[in-house]
Amino acid sequence: MTSRRDAATGDDGNASGDVTARTVADGGAAAAVDGADDGASRPGRDWSTYGLVAGASLISVGLAAYEIVPASVTPLLRESLGIGSTRAGLVVGVMFGTAVVVSLPLGAVLDRTDSRRVMAVAVLGLVVAGLWGWVAGRAGAYWPLIASRFVGGTAFVIVWNGSIDIVSRAVDPRHRATAVGIFTASGPVGFALGQSTGPLVAARFGWPAIFPAYTGLTLAGFALFWVTSRGLGGARADAPSFGEFGSVLKRRAVWVVGLLGFLSYALYLFVNSWGSSYLTQELGLSLAASGLVVAVFPAVGALSRVSSGLLSDRAFGGRRAPVFLGSFAVAAPMVLAFTRLGSVPVLVGVLFCAGFAIQLTIGLSFTYVREVVEANVAATAVAFQTTVGLAGAFLSPIAGGAVVDAAGFEIAFLLAGALSIAGVALAWRVSEPA
């Protein structure tokens, strides 16, 4: 990775630089991207770019573990708080709901402020949320616990959007998709960490301890991030007007990739949510065995999201559309055929391949959406992508459950396959940044 340092004016004494104009094949609109990215580079400091990506990823791993960990101890949580499955589900679901609500306005804030310092506030917010959740859990206070999760969800959105913005500024355009893909792999890694270690933490320290358990990892990542991100993330000299914020939503390319993100997240969460139930109820697998089989699906996400950037940057010479198209084209037949496969080894293989394919879009979409807008509204574009994508993640398990109850698993998976086919049709309309 070639490191480049942003020279937007800020508290670190950075000099203002030029923004390269790039024509995007989206109605011929000119989109300024950070190809020369506001600034100067620091030659010989490539190690700091690797450290930056690693630090941001560690912060995100800790936050993702915090996000999903209540799902691993749901029976303990329900018994202790005396709540039903719906309220227990909200302890996790409120994180996705928060992201949908606050991501876009926070993206606008990041475009007008020093995103590095805002991320520092977000990490502090996670520490507060973790301790608050621990206290609320020990007291059996359900709604204060939900409030703490709202604070944690807001922190997660800031870290996710801010990290993508800063990592994208730091890396040469030829390697940007690879670097952002590596960062987005932190999501499934954190999910795996939370799911696998949550029960161990609960058994040793009590279930409320799951909430502050991963703050140490996040703080360690932040220490590395803070040292290696010096000179990046400052407020831009060309801070966007409110009219320019609105211009993001007028881009056809932004809506196309946003809908692709919605579909990929919806498919990802549908299989995660209902694959295990299908294997248990229809094929007679034990809950432990079905959970192990379905775990293949998110586990491959880390490899897939890193590979999305490598495929685009190296195999396709920086072109994005072939990755989006291949993602849904490979996933569609596998999702459609899922309920017709009775062999567990075959199902494991299908889950691996489908999980890899679907998450290629998740990994690449956050790079692409920055490239089709002006550089001074890039964080807003990333925030829009987060909002639309996580809306799919939020709605998919709920809608999937309604279809399963009304018509059964076969129809539910057929409809999921239809979403994959819709993704193929939509991917044909992806325009390449010039």
For the chain, 434 residues long, give each residue's pLDDT as a single digit of tens.
544 444 333 334 343 333 333 333 344 343 443 433 443 333 334 788 889 999 999 999 999 899 888 877 878 888 899 987 678 878 888 888 888 888 888 877 777 788 889 999 999 999 999 999 999 999 999 999 999 999 999 999 999 988 988 888 888 877 888 888 889 888 888 887 887 788 889 989 999 999 999 999 999 999 999 999 887 766 655 556 666 667 788 889 999 999 999 999 999 888 876 776 777 778 877 756 666 676 677 678 888 888 888 888 888 888 999 999 999 999 999 999 988 887 888 888 888 898 899 989 988 998 899 888 887 788 788 888 988 998 888 888 778 878 888 888 899 999 999 999 999 999 999 998 76
DSSP assignment letter at 316? S
User: Which of 279, 259, 264 is closest to 330 using CA atoms?
Assistant: 264
Judge whether 14 lies within some domain: no
Residues spanned by the domain of 259: 25-427
> What are the C-alpha distances in Å from 377 to residues 39, 163, 243, 312?
17, 15, 11, 23
Judge whether 16 lies within some domain: no
Residue 433 has φ and ψ, to the nearest 5°, of: -60, 135
Q: How far apart are CA 337 and CA 343, in angstroms?
A: 12
DSSP assignment of 321-387 equals HHHHHHHHHHHHHHHHHGGG---HHHHHHHHHHHHHHHHHHHHHHHHHHHHTS-GGGHHHHHHHHHH
Judge whether 5 lies within some domain: no
Judge whether 15 lies within some domain: no
Q: How far apart are CA 194 and CA 245, in angstroms?
A: 36
DSSP assignment of 39-66 equals S---TT-HHHHHHHHHHHHHHHHHHHHH
Per DSSP, the three-state class of 265 is: helix
Judge whether 1 lies within some domain: no
What pTM was computed for the model?
0.72
Judge whether 372 lies within some domain: yes
Judge whether 200 lies within some domain: yes
Asked whether 59 and 159 are in contact (CB, 8 A), the reply is yes
Q: How far apart are CA 312 and CA 184, in angstroms?
A: 15
Chain centroid to Cα 50, Å, comes to 20
Give the chain's domain count: 1
Judge whether 319 lies within some domain: yes
Q: The domain that contains 309 carries what CATH number?
A: 1.20.1250.20
